[in-house]
């Protein structure tokens, strides 16, 4: 048995431990029920739960959810469309999101995988100042995929 201050009180019967907790207007909580004998602690369980939920809430508040945004290109994309998509991808990366760049091949475009690979490399270069390539362009079935992650911002 452990007291509310963390002091070891020794081995005692569960009835005796329960009476001791009730005399202090606190709860008796099993800390390690699988141990022989089980380890119990005297504590204010309501206060413990409140502090635990507050810590979890604080941790969630500091946590940042990274979303995966997708940019779709085509094999024969024009320069202006390419620049617009690259600008949008840079914006996503600056906000801290990952970006999945994909090119879907239709019909006979599969014969021009080298053009798609060139487009992907050029796209990665245009976003190089705000991102790093997490996964290099790779052909999977009828589409080519590449993943970009935002660069870590320097800590002040």
Q: How far apart are the first and last CA of the chain?
A: 47
Beta carbons of 28 and 21 less than 8 angstroms apart: yes
Domains defined along the chain, listed by start: 14-62 (3.10.20.80), 68-150 (3.30.110.10)
100-130, pLDDT tens digit by residue? 999 999 988 888 889 999 999 999 999 999 9
Q: Measure the CA–CA gap between 134 and 150, rounded to whole angstroms.
A: 9
Query: In this structure, what DSSP letter does residue 76 have?
Result: T
Residue 154 has pLDDT above 70, yes or no: no
Q: Measure the CA–CA gap between 84 and 68, rounded to whole angstroms.
A: 19
- pTM exceeding 0.75: no
Res. 156 pLDDT band, cuts 50 70 90: low
Q: Measure the CA–CA gap between 96 and 131, rounded to whole angstroms.
A: 10
Look at the alpha carbons of 110, 115, 117, 122 in this order and tell me if their dihedral is positive or negative.
negative
Q: Once rounded to an integer, what is the mean pLDDT over residues 83-109?
A: 92
């Amino acid at each position: 048995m452990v007291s509310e201050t963390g002091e070891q009180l020794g081995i005692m019967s569960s009835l005796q431990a329960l009476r001791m907790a009730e005399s202090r207007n606190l709860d008796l909580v099993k800390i390690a029920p699988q141990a022989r004998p089980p380890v119990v602690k005297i504590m204010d369980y309501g206060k413990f739960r409140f502090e635990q939920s507050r810590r979890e809430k604080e941790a969630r508040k500091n946590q940042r959810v990274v979303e995966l945004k997708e940019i779709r290109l085509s094999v024969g994309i024009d320069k202006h469309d390419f620049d617009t998509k690259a600008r949008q991808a840079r914006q996503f990366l600056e906000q801290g999101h990952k970006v999945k760049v994909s090119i879907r091949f239709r019909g006979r475009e599969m014969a021009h995988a080298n053009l798609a690979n060139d487009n992907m490399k050029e796209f990665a270069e245009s976003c190089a100042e705000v991102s790093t390539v997490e996964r290099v362009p790779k052909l999977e079935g009828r589409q080519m995929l590449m993943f970009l992650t935002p660069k870590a911002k320097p800590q002040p």
